[in-house]
Structure 1
Amino acid sequence: MTSSLTLVSLPLFPLHTVLFPGGYLPLRVFELRYRMMVRCCREQGAPFGVVTLRSGHETRLHDQPLETFHAVGTIAHIDSVTHLSSGLELIECSGKDRFRLTQARPLPSGLWVADVQLLAADVPVPIPADLRHAATALEQVLHKLEQPHLDNVSEQHFLDCGWVANRWCELLPMNDHLQLQMLELDSPLLRLELVTDALERAGIASQ
């Protein structure tokens, strides 16, 4: 997708978390407005947008200003929905393209929708030799996690700067502000370089 492509009236799910492209996001949905959003997205095969809250809580957004959200978010695709109990659903989502909010407005239901500009997807960049240890360490960590959503990960993923950097951004104990700075970087190589520096300082990966 190109940076000039826009989406109109994209439903938003504000959270105290950051979703990265290629990432996995499980959500327990109980509020009526979000259950209706999930139902509509499933029926139409449409995505929604995950945005990170600056302050406040996702259950009390109907009377909060747009500045409550960070401007950059990530498109989420619903992969599965499991009904856990009456009024409670588990949805499993995957992160797709990044976007920037241009306009947003609350609906009478309290759900926020936004017009967004999609940002350019990461260009595949092979991992240079001096950063390969970051990919090797990630492969070891993910192997130990043994999580079902990682079943489709291939060796090719561990050769790509953007994918490796994004997975480390999810795993490392970064605050939301730093994660968002990483998300906004257009260079996957620079993102991986910064992540690798953090790994080396923490003693997680060494050359």
Structure 2
Amino acid sequence: MPLFPLASVLFPGGPLTLRIFESRYLDMVRECSRNDSGFGVCLILDGGEVGTPAKPAAVGTLARIVDFYTLPDGLLGITAAGGARFHVERTRVRHDGLLRGDVEYLPSEPLLPVPAEYGLLATLLERIAEKAGGDYDRAPRANFDNASWVGFRLAELLPLENIERQQLLITTDPIARLRLLTEYLQRFQHD
């Protein structure tokens, strides 16, 4: 799978907009379009988004391109949606600098309701979604009682460090993710 290391974390069901200008990523977008396939998004652990291939985190998210457009500066813009999470088993750098990885997909999470003790997280997400608008505000009401969905959306929207976001992505239990979010939120509380 082609890998796109970024200085951000993509979550299942989450949105991703990218400005594509490096030839290796233009080729990747062509390949994904031609093969109706996706590419992997991994948090950068070392290096940068441009230039020499960066060292990616071992767990990432499949991104599927849902839209293409030309940006005002003439570059290619894409919108992608987060899909399944995966673990990178091995990586190699292609001759053009594109990072490719052999991946193993992580199992889908069980559909669990938000437990009562984490109900405030769902309420917080509803308030943030109203302000954020767009797809967040148009989400079906049932999503706000889905522990995975609530956890992933809060992980996207809260002002967290990327290492915290990566930990939330790695966590495979939706209730444990809500517990972690509660711990992270404590630093935002005022006396």
- Residue 160 of structure 1 is matched in structure 2 by 146
- Residue 166 of structure 2 is matched in structure 1 by 180
Equivalent of residue 15 in structure 2, options 11, 24, 27: 24
- Which whole-Å CA distance do the structure 2 matches of 1:143 and 1:151 have between them? 5
Q: Which structure 1 residue ranges, 5 or more long, are not aligned?
A: 1-9
- Three-state SS of the structure 1 residue aligned to 2:50 is helix
| RMSD of aligned Cα (Å) | 1.8
- Residue 55 of structure 1 is matched in structure 2 by 46
- 1:180 is matched by which residue type in structure 2? Q
Equivalent of residue 77 in structure 2, options 84, 90, 104: 90
User: Does the CA contact (< 8 Å) of 2:129 and 2:137 recur in 1?
Assistant: no
- Residue 150 of structure 1 is matched in structure 2 by 136
Where in structure 1 do 4 or more consecutive aligned residues deviate above 6 Å?
A: none
Give the structure-1-normalised TM-score: 0.85
Deviation at 1:119, TM superposition (A): 0.6
Q: What per-residue deviation string (whole Å, max 9, x for no partner) do you get for residues 96-151 of structure 1?
A: 1111111111111111111100011221111111211210110111111112x436
- 1:73 is matched by which residue type in structure 2? G
- Three-state SS of the structure 1 residue aligned to 2:41 is strand
- Which whole-Å CA distance do the structure 1 matches of 2:164 and 2:79 have between them? 25
State whether structure 2 residue 91 is matched by structure 1 residue 104. yes
Give the structure-2-normalised TM-score: 0.92
User: Does the CA contact (< 8 Å) of 1:134 and 1:199 recur in 2?
Assistant: no
- Three-state SS of the structure 1 residue aligned to 2:172 is coil
User: Does the CA contact (< 8 Å) of 2:65 and 2:81 recur in 1?
Assistant: yes
